[in-house]
Amino acid sequence: MQRKSLDLWVGLFVLLGAAALFFLAMKAGNLGSLSTGNTYSLTTKFDNIGGLKPRAPVKSAGVVVGRVADIAFDDKSFQAAVTLSLESRYKFPKDSSAKILTSGLLGEQYVGIEPGGDTNALVAGDKIKMTQSAIVLENLISQFLFSKAAEGKDEKK
């Protein structure tokens, strides 16, 4: 009888471990908070999206208000076309802007929406025209190094 009780506890422990691994996998894949509510889609274009991925969060004031639905390349403007799926309970003014931001120094990238001051709200199918592309860390480092190299040349003269 004691052997069956031990087997039962080991089985429960294994099931709890599997559930915890499943939860962590969902969180790591940005699937932990699937919204089943009503959403509306907006599109925006960026010159450089960096490491932005579909299902990345869309945040405003630090609150997740939606997800990145799709990323495509527009071969006419040579920009990345990003489709945002926002929860319908969140309305933003027509003159809002979108930025690609990073959580921490090397964290995940997300789209940040900064509300404007227009009285009319964005509706499904609208485009956010004011955008700011991702800051690529490698570009910043190379600009810094080139500026330091240029300063070194000027001092030698």
pLDDT band at 34 (very low <50, low <70, confident <90, very high): low
Residue 137 has pLDDT above 80, yes or no: no
User: Rounded CA gap, 3 and 9, in Å?
Assistant: 10
Average pLDDT value for residue range 41-51: 92
**103 and 128 in contact (C-beta within 8 Å)?**
no
User: Rounded CA gap, 33 and 67, in Å?
Assistant: 10
Residue 59 has pLDDT above 90, yes or no: yes
Residue 36 has pLDDT above 60, yes or no: no
Residue 68 has pLDDT above 90, yes or no: yes
pLDDT band at 155 (very low <50, low <70, confident <90, very high): low
pTM of the entire structure? 0.69
**59 and 110 in contact (C-beta within 8 Å)?**
yes
Nearest to 86 by CA among 29, 37, 150: 37
User: Rounded CA gap, 79 and 72, in Å?
Assistant: 9
Nearest to 85 by CA among 55, 47, 112: 55
pLDDT band at 4 (very low <50, low <70, confident <90, very high): confident
Determine the pLDDT at residue 29: 64
Residue 26 has pLDDT above 90, yes or no: no
Residue 129 has pLDDT above 80, yes or no: yes
